[in-house]
Amino acid sequence: MFHKILIANRGEIALRIIRACKELGIKTVAVYSTVDTDSLHVKLADESVCIGPAPSMQSYLNINAIISAAELTDSEAIHPGYGFLAENTAFAEICENCGITFIGPSSESMRLMGDKISARQAMIKEGIPILPGTTDGVQGVNEAITIAKKIGFPVIIKASAGGGGRGMKIVHSPAALPNAFATARAEAQAGFGNPEVYIEKYCQQPRHVEIQLLADKHGNVVHLGERDCSIQRRHQKLIEESPCTLITPELRKEMGDAAVRAAKSVGYNSAGTVEFLVDTDNNFYFMEMNTRIQVEHPVTEMVTGIDIVREQIRSAAGLKLRYKQGDIKIKGHSIECRINAEDPVTFTPCPGKITSYHTPGGLGVRVDSFVYDQYTVLPHYDSLVSKLIVHAETRDDAIQRMIRALDEYIIDGIKTTIPFHKRIMANKDFIEGNFDTGFLERMVLK
């Protein structure tokens, strides 16, 4: 096992990793920007190193500074968390070349699954369903129009190197395609340094369902069931839950087996997630693989009792998985609400100083956060301030527990999305499980 791990991240995920390391008896090193001096991950780590000014490119995305910090502190491994450098193939390669363990998959696995086009090609070889579309990048707008007409509208344009909704445009007609194509390429270039895009059939009214995987360096892979991530705005997830109300035990096994095959096909060895779209006829289609820990991993931890971050670290250290597929049991129901420092109606970021802070508690309530009373939420980074997670025996009980926890959660001084989540939890369609990825847009239009 590792003696010391450097955490190349900030916020709640940095704290989450510190906690897992402490329970494993591993020393931790926090890196931070000049404006993050008062962040909890800096205070709770065993050591800390300032790696640059506020802009991410000069700090949390500064590979040279992070590697130097790891060498300075004699860290054996680096955990990238999610976001920032978590899916940066070059960073994983540099770690490997410097003799530092990257806590994640190999750079080769990351490259194969991180590029959406190569991932689609790999899934075709494995016989895993994908939506009709291109298996290579689309070079020009005329080619895009020809392909779209052949597939049939609506189609969706996606960045090959992308994720999180950037470089992604839904197109309903030939007339709208030239502008959408140009915009998607521009967003892809700006966001990922690669303008390449591909086109696939747009799946209407789907559920966004993902399968959590654990894999080791000995060829063992298991899945931990599914998460429903359909409540989202502009392709950004806002609420996640496990299990999905739509998924039968038979479909869970089929999707889980497909996800395991996908991971094995690229020699995957870490925590990871295979994301699917499930249509109204319960057909599922591979969408992408996230080669990192997910924001929403706690709901899976709550229903399985498995510490995913701990297992991710064990895998990176070369230890075998402690679980076989038959050991994985789904118990009860869990829901996660992402609490963002945003206006609950417009979703405009609202950074500022928290003047009063009180977290909810009680049976089955978990808060993953990094903020505290008098903490100033910074404008430089993602607006996520905490994740509120509940667990109960049934989905109805979990919804009621979430309503109670949201009522208890006090964050004064800034606007947050707590009121938004209260509206969702009280929504009849959400309570009855009648929703898909377009749910929020329809709700807003009502």
Average pLDDT over residues 212-220: 98
Identical fold, 132-201 and 207-445: no
Under the banding of pLDDT at 50, 70 and 90, the label for residue 441 is confident
Average pLDDT over residues 131-147: 93
Quick one: tokens of 338? 């992402």
pLDDT of residue 221: 98
Active site residue 395: no
Q: What phi and psi, each to the nearest 5 degrees, are found at residue 232? A: -150, 160
CA-based nearest residue to 107, from 89, 85, 81: 89
What is the architecture of the domain spanning 207-445? Answer: 2-Layer Sandwich (3.30)
* Per-residue pLDDT reduced to its tens digit, 197-206: 999 999 989 9
Judged on CB neighbours under 10 Å (0-12, 13-18, 19+), 53 is: middle
Q: Is the peptide bond before 243 cis (omega within 30 degrees of 0)?
A: yes
Sign of CA dihedral 291, 296, 300, 305: positive
Look up residue 274 and give its DSSP letter.
Answer: E
Quick one: tokens of 165? 């909704």
* Per-residue pLDDT reduced to its tens digit, 275-293: 999 999 999 999 999 999 9
Distance CA 194, CA 159 (A): 8
Question: In 166-296, which ranges are continuous DSSP H helix?
Answer: 177-192, 249-265
191, pLDDT greater than 80 = no
166, pLDDT greater than 90 = no
* Per-residue pLDDT reduced to its tens digit, 371-404: 999 999 999 999 999 999 999 999 999 999 999 9
Question: Which sequence spans correspond to the domains of the chain?
Answer: 4-103, 132-201, 207-445
Angle between helices 249-265 and 116-126 (to 10 degrees): 110
Distance CA 21, CA 285 (A): 36
Amino acid at the residue 110:
M
Question: Which pairing describes strands 77-79 and 4-7: parallel, antiparallel, or unpaired?
Answer: parallel
Span between the terminal Cα atoms of the chain, in Å: 54
Distance CA 380, CA 175 (A): 37
pLDDT of residue 445: 53
Under the banding of pLDDT at 50, 70 and 90, the label for residue 39 is very high
Sequence-ordered strand ranges (E) for 71-119:
77-79, 101-102
Judged by DSSP in three states, 212 sits in strand
Average pLDDT over residues 305-332: 98
Average pLDDT over residues 172-193: 91
What is the architecture of the domain spanning 4-103? Answer: 3-Layer(aba) Sandwich (3.40)
Judged on CB neighbours under 10 Å (0-12, 13-18, 19+), 329 is: exposed
pLDDT of residue 444: 65
How many CB atoms lie under 10 A from the CB of residue 236? Answer: 11
What is the widest separation between alpha-carbon atoms in the chain? Answer: 60
What proportion of the chain, given as a percentage, has pLDDT over 70?
A: 99
How far CA 102 is from CA of 7, 61, 110, 172, in Å, comes to: 10, 15, 12, 42
Average pLDDT over the chain reads 95
Find how far residue 36's CA is from the centre of its chain: 23
Distance CA 332, CA 395 (A): 8
Average pLDDT over residues 137-145: 93
Record: fold of 132-201: Dna Ligase; domain 1 (3.30.1490)
Question: Which pairing describes strands 155-159 and 101-102: parallel, antiparallel, or unpaired?
Answer: unpaired
pLDDT of residue 249: 96
User: How is 357-404 classified by DSSP, letter by letter?
Assistant: EE---STTEEEEE---TTPEEPSSS--EEEEEEEEESSHHHHHHHHHH
Annotated catalytic residue within 120, 227, 252, 292: 292
